[in-house]
């Protein structure tokens, strides 16, 4: 499920680079990755953002530093947004310490007898502080090479902007950063396997049923698009099965984290984090809150040979990134998981999916109808019930081949919490009909 924060409209190209693993040296509690051999290759997803044309493209003095910024008033905003997200990662410890210190200060203001009763709780709070340190060091590794995600970073974000100050992160930004930890659990840990089995497995199984016979020597020419790719595990699983896969994500929080896992992690369980320390309510045992998880549960580099040219990511708004003629009728299959209800107008997503599919192509969907914009007073939103949605899907042109409205699923849940949310998710298999060819005139 994607955040509502929109990343700059950027493109990601896929290349295969050797990754030097100097990560982990900042924290002894983290496992250091072994250096990869020079002939070990990992598919690295590199981001490219094309700068706008310069004001005077014929001027010999025009340079990357002067292009873009003077031309496009949105350039400054995009650069500030990028650095605001980076600042959120960098200031995680300061923000989190502030909340811990506030609690400790409140305890110190209590009567002495209350402080004595809360002695063990204070020790627990200090343990949370240690866990914050572990998470903070992980976040710093995630943004260590954040700029290298952009192949043409200096051209995209010219030097004239680099002295500009980024906006201060808000509490909402830190909430989204804390959610990154939960998404790591969902996508890349043993603990998240149960969720993946309920959310990803039905989609993967259906892809295999539809296209499994298309593989030759382990590879298939079937092209699969995954909007709202998040941390990238669903994309990774389909690439492992030999398909050509492109994920799309617009949250920089997700992109920074997924880039780190997919491109910088080599081996299993090489990093640790404490994903539940910010969940202070409905905690049964103190160790449930501070428990650590190891990730990834599989080696992200363990992909078929030549996967570097078969696995790609795009960043940006789905509606904009796939509105070009090149994306029309370009995909054999579109897979959406906890995605379509992220639109303020769900019809726009359905129409774009239909446009992207080849004739005879399949759209697979699994997820609820939470409608993310429905409770935001400042946002417009429509929330059609599912029976209306079925009619809309069919009128757009889809043929619904399978439908299940009661698939039990959860989303980034803490399995040890006293509170949990479950969904009866909707599973759909929809086909874009093949256009009838006009009969030849006799």
Least confident of 149-153, 205-209, 311-315, 348-352: 149-153
More confident residue, 72 or 429: 429
Residue 309 lies in a domain: yes
Residue 150, pLDDT score? 55
Question: At 158, is the pLDDT very low, low, confident or very high (cuts 50, 70, 90)?
Answer: low
Residue 437, pLDDT score? 74
Residue 226, pLDDT score? 99
Structural domain range at position 135: 11-55+84-431
Share above pLDDT 90 across residues of the chain, in percent, rounded to a whole number: 72
Residue 439, pLDDT score? 66
Residue 63 lies in a domain: no
Least confident of 51-65, 164-178, 281-295: 51-65
Question: At 369, is the pLDDT very low, low, confident or very high (cuts 50, 70, 90)?
Answer: very high
Residue 306 lies in a domain: yes
- pTM reported for the whole predicted model: 0.84
Question: At 212, is the pLDDT very low, low, confident or very high (cuts 50, 70, 90)?
Answer: very high
Mean pLDDT of the region 427-440: 88
Question: At 7, is the pLDDT very low, low, confident or very high (cuts 50, 70, 90)?
Answer: very low
Give the range with max mean pLDDT: 35-39, 165-169, 193-197.
Answer: 193-197
Residue 60 lies in a domain: no
More confident residue, 253 or 64: 253
Residue 66 lies in a domain: no
Residue 67 lies in a domain: no
Mean pLDDT of the region 384-390: 98
Least confident of 23-37, 135-149, 409-423: 23-37
Residue 278 lies in a domain: yes
Query: Is 77 a residue whose pLDDT tops 80?
Result: no
Residue 44, pLDDT score? 59
- Distance of alpha carbon 290 from its chain centroid, rounded? 24
Residue 79, pLDDT score? 81
Least confident of 77-81, 302-306, 330-334, 393-397: 77-81
Query: Is 240 a residue whose pLDDT tops 90?
Result: yes
Query: Is 278 a residue whose pLDDT tops 70?
Result: yes
- Reported as a single tens digit per residue, the pLDDT across 332-368 is 999 999 999 999 999 999 999 999 999 999 999 999 9
Residue 78, pLDDT score? 77
Residue 227, pLDDT score? 98
More confident residue, 5 or 158: 158
Q: The domain that contains 403 carries what CATH number? A: 3.40.50.150
Mean pLDDT of the region 36-58: 41
Residue 160 lies in a domain: yes
How many domains, in total, are found in the chain? 1
Average per-residue pLDDT for the chain: 85
Share above pLDDT 70 across residues of the chain, in percent, rounded to a whole number: 79
Residue 93, pLDDT score? 99
Least confident of 15-29, 174-188, 296-310, 318-332: 15-29
Residue 166, pLDDT score? 73
Question: At 420, is the pLDDT very low, low, confident or very high (cuts 50, 70, 90)?
Answer: very high
């Amino acid at each position: 499920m994607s955040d509502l924060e929109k990343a700059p409209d950027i493109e990601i190209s896929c290349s295969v680079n050797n990754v030097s693993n100097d990560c982990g040296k900042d924290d002894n509690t983290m496992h250091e990755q072994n250096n990869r051999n020079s002939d070990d290759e990992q598919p690295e997803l590199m981001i490219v953002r094309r700068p706008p044309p310069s004001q005077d493209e014929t001027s010999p003095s025009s340079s990357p530093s002067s292009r873009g910024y003077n031309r496009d008033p949105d350039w400054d905003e995009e650069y500030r947004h990028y650095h605001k997200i980076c600042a959120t990662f960098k200031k995680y410890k300061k923000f989190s310490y502030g909340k811990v210190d506030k609690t400790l200060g409140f305890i110190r203001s209590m009567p002495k007898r209350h402080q004595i009763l809360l002695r063990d709780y204070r020790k627990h709070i200090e343990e949370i502080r240690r866990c914050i340190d572990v998470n903070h060091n992980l976040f710093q590794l995630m943004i260590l090479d954040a700029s290298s995600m952009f192949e043409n970073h200096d051209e995209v974000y010219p030097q004239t902007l680099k002295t500009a100050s980024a906006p201060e992160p808000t509490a909402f930004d830190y909430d989204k950063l804390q959610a990154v930890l939960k998404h790591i659990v969902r996508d890349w840990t043993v603990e998240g396997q149960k969720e993946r089995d309920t959310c990803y497995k039905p989609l993967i199984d259906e892809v295999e049923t539809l296209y499994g016979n298309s593989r030759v020597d382990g590879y298939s020419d079937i092209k699969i698009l995954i909007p709202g790719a998040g941390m990238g595990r669903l994309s990774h699983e389909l690439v492992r099965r030999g398909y050509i896969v492109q994920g799309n994500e617009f949250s920089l929080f997700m992109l920074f984290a997924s880039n780190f896992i997919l491109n910088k992690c080599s081996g299993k369980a090489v990093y640790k984090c404490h994903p539940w320390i910010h969940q202070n309510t409905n905690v049964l045992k103190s160790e449930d809150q501070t428990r650590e998880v190891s990730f990834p549960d599989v080696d992200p580099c363990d992909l078929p040979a030549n996967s570097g040219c078969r696995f790609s990511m795009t960043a940006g708004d789905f509606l904009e990134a796939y509105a070009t003629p090149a994306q029309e009728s370009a995909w054999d299959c579109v897979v959406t998981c906890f995605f379509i209800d992220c639109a303020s107008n769900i019809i726009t997503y359905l129409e774009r999916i239909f446009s992207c599919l080849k004739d005879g192509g399949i759209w697979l969907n699994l997820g609820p109808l939470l409608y993310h914009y429905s409770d935001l007073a400042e946002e417009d939103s429509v929330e059609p019930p599912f029976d209306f949605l079925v009619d809309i899907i069919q009128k757009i042109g889809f043929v619904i081949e399978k439908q299940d409205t009661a698939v039990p699923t959860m989303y980034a849940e803490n399995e040890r919490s006293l509170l949990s949310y479950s969904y009866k998710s909707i599973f759909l298999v929809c086909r874009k009909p093949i256009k009838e060819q006009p009969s030849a005139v006799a």
